Amino acid sequence: MEMKGKDLICTQDWSLEELEQTLRVAHDMKKNRYADKYTDLLKHRTFLMFFYNPSVRTRQSFEAAATELGGHAQFLEPKSMRLKTKHSAGETIEDAANVMSRYAVGLGIRILEDKIAAYGDGDRLLREYAQYATIPIVNMADDRFHPCQGLADIMGLQQRLGTNLKRKKLLMVWGQGALARSWGSIQENLLISSRFGMDVSLAYPEGYDLDPEVIEMTKANCKTSGSSFNITNDLVEGYHGADVVYSRNWMSPAAYASGEFDKAGEVKKAMQIDGWTCNEEKMKLTNDGLYIHPMPVDRGNEVTDAVASGERSIIVDVAENRLHVQKAVMGLTMSDQRIVL
């Protein structure tokens, strides 16, 4: 399967076969982490990373991934570069993408809710870079999608539940929180979980609807895979029989109503909604369910310490998997060498 040169902006853009191949490679890379067949896939090559927003795991995992593939990841902050914006003159995306394509074998971009003026602007920026670049563009998290996180989630579930996830029940549930998070990780998980045949249950308080287009794609994925999709505003209903619980805070659709991201307003509103913390009592309603989260975890609000650090929590496993799925993505899309399992 030829994947060299492919952008990864959302897992929905890739075929199911491509996603499955990426995960097979990721599992093998984890098993044979420093094997000779992987350590020179990007030998002497450079992967550029644009961080509009700071990170912990994203920078660490991409830099480690490039190193373990024999290459180098270069950290860049757009605020210190002469790039054209609405408020300043500088290099256009077309020019920047064309030039950087001559320097590197791939470009990762991370841009979240507080660096844009309207929902979708971050995702549109990535797609504009993809329009002009001749190297793969990798989404390191934007305001709509987070494909590497979605792949890491599935990899973690496969390690505990088996490679066949069909008809396993996933509960995606809103959690109280003080971070006013964008929808990227949540929506990515809904999309990729439904592609892999999981029964998806989405629970949130009234007023916290997600992107209608993503919801329709999730419904269509479930129909194609023969699974179910359900939305509820009940804070307990979805826990019954769940094999996986993903409890996370996310912003409301009104977050950009003023023309910029209203973090303070979103936090204030979220912290006034009680009862939506994932705890041991609710987890007892599940089918001995696993707990997953993309981190950082807002402990005490999104989830209790007892659940986040409990024996059914796989949040650290999933965080580790970011390294392996990113190595797989980079190896498959940026290397001149064919990966043979």
Residue 2 lies in a domain: no
C-alpha 100 chain-centroid distance: 24
Phi, psi dihedrals of residue 297, rounded to the nearest 5°: -90, 130
Quick one: how many helices (H) and strands (E) in the chain? 11, 9
Question: Are residues 75 and 205 located together in one domain of the fold?
Answer: no
Give the per-residue pLDDT at 241. Answer: 98
Q: What gap in Å lies between CA 228 and CA 222, rounded to an integer?
A: 6
Q: How many Cα atoms within 13 Å fall on the side-chain side of residue 125?
A: 32
Give the per-residue pLDDT at 88. Answer: 62
Question: Are residues 43 and 84 located together in one domain of the fold?
Answer: yes
- Tell me if residue 293 falls in helix, strand or coil: coil
Quick count: other Cβ atoms within 10 Å of Cβ 85?
Answer: 9
Range of the structural domain that residue 126 is part of: 11-145+319-334
Give the per-residue pLDDT at 30. Answer: 98
Q: How far is CA 49 from CA 92, 110, 127, 136, 140, in A?
A: 17, 8, 15, 12, 9
Give the per-residue pLDDT at 87. Answer: 58
Residue 258 lies in a domain: yes
Cβ–Cβ < 8 Å for 135, 104: yes
Q: Could you tell me the CATH number of the domain that includes residue 251?
A: 3.40.50.1370
Would you give per-residue pLDDT tens digits along the chain (341 residues)? 899 999 999 999 999 999 999 999 999 999 999 999 999 999 999 999 999 998 889 999 999 999 999 999 999 998 887 775 665 667 899 999 999 999 999 999 999 999 999 999 999 999 999 999 999 999 999 999 999 999 999 999 999 999 999 999 999 999 999 999 999 999 999 999 999 999 999 999 999 999 999 999 999 999 999 999 999 999 999 999 999 999 999 999 999 999 999 999 999 999 999 999 999 999 999 999 999 999 999 999 999 999 999 999 999 999 999 999 999 999 999 999 999 99
Number of domains in the chain: 2
Quick count: other Cβ atoms within 10 Å of Cβ 212?
Answer: 9
